[in-house]
């Protein structure tokens, strides 16, 4: 019965591998970590594994790595395809939010965006634009990993989102604009421990924040 169970487990693992995924029953996290560590020690300069080799990030590779199955009458082998990266492929990801701009006493202008996520390369020569759907197709862990299917733009290539980020005021015309008449709605954004805010008219507002030791109040 034990042999039958083991053959059944092996068959299930093979079926899973045929889908291009690493079967945990055959390649445990400890084994995969050892394999990836050995790979990282033999990479050429400027290349590294896409999610590093920290053990707490090994689970990402079960989603990122593709495998192929090769077998004959003597055994079965797994061929693992591992994603690599270089320093030029590292981007800092920002979420864009544009506050309304005052045109007159009660009239404001707001820009309409197609992409709310902006990725800037480490060398600041290139950038990429992502929608919420694009970001959901990426793998998120301690780092966000996107496959190389998203277009890259040189920093000199004009776009609405690029002009807003780089503050190219002469290219704001690329953005679609909405006119807000008699605009009086305040805007509050919470990011980490910071607040960003916009009020059509100067005013004092007290914000209550929940913390581990109770509530704290901040006046802006």
Asked whether the CA dihedral 27, 32, 35, 40 is positive or negative, the reply is: positive
- Helix or strand or coil: residue 92? strand
One domain for residues 160 and 203:
no
Predicted local confidence at residue 214, as pLDDT: 55
CA gap 83, 49 in Å, rounded: 6
CA gap 103, 110 in Å, rounded: 10
Q: Which residues are registered as beta bridge partners of 54?
A: none
Range of the domain at 125: 88-181
CA gap 185, 106 in Å, rounded: 11
One domain for residues 38 and 72:
yes
Domain count, the chain: 3
- Which tokens go with 106? 């009660």
Compute CA distances 151 → 81, 128, 134, 138, 163, whole Å: 23, 6, 11, 14, 17
Q: Contact, 69 vs 76, CB < 8 A?
A: yes
| pLDDT, tens digit, 9 for 90 and up, residues 140-161 | 666 677 776 778 888 888 888 8
One domain for residues 76 and 31:
yes
First vs last C-alpha separation in the chain:
71
How many Cβ atoms from other residues are within 10 Å of residue 83's Cβ? 16
Q: Residue 90 — left, alpha, or beta (φ > 0 → left; ψ -120 to 50 → alpha)?
A: beta
- Apex CA 125: angle with CA 123 and CA 131, to 5°? 105
One domain for residues 170 and 93:
yes
Residues in contact with 166: Cβ distance below 8 Å, sequence separation at least 6, in sequence order: 155
- Apex CA 58: angle with CA 57 and CA 60, to 5°? 75
One domain for residues 110 and 148:
yes
One domain for residues 122 and 39:
no
Predicted local confidence at residue 203, as pLDDT: 56
| pLDDT, tens digit, 9 for 90 and up, residues 86-126 | 766 778 888 888 888 888 877 888 888 889 899 898 888 88
One domain for residues 191 and 174:
no
One domain for residues 152 and 73:
no
One domain for residues 51 and 101:
no
- Which tokens go with 52? 């590093």
One domain for residues 23 and 102:
no
Q: Name the domain boundary from 60, 85, 110.
A: 85
Predicted local confidence at residue 23, as pLDDT: 82
Q: At 207, is the pLDDT very low, low, confident or very high (cuts 50, 70, 90)?
A: low
For strand 194-198 and strand 187-191, is the pairing parallel, antiparallel, or unpaired? antiparallel
| pLDDT beyond 70 at 186 | yes
- Helix or strand or coil: residue 117? strand
Closest CA to 62 of 48, 77, 80: 80
């Amino acid at each position: 019965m034990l042999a039958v169970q083991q053959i059944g487990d092996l068959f299930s693992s093979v079926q899973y591998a045929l889908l291009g995924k690493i079967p945990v029953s055959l390649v445990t996290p400890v084994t995969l970590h050892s394999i990836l560590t050995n790979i990282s020690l033999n990479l050429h300069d400027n290349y590294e594994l896409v999610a590093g080799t920290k053990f707490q990030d090994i689970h990402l590779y079960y989603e990122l790595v593709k495998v192929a199955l090769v077998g004959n009458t003597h055994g079965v082998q797994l061929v693992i395809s591992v994603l690599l990266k270089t320093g030029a492929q590292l981007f800092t990801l920002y979420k864009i939010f544009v506050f309304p701009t005052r045109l007159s006493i009660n009239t404001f202008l707001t820009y309409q965006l197609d992409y709310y996520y902006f990725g800037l390369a480490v060398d600041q020569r290139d950038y990429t634009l992502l929608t919420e759907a694009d970001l959901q197709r990426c793998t998120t862990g301690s780092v966000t990993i996107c496959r190389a299917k998203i277009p890259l733009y040189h920093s000199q290539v004009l776009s609405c989102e690029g002009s807003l980020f780089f503050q190219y005021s002469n290219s704001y015309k690329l953005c679609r604009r909405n006119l807000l008449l008699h605009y009086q709605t305040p805007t509050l954004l919470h990011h980490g421990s910071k607040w960003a805010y916009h009020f059509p008219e100067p005013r004092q507002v007290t914000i209550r924040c929940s913390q581990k030791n109770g509530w704290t109040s901040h006046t802006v």
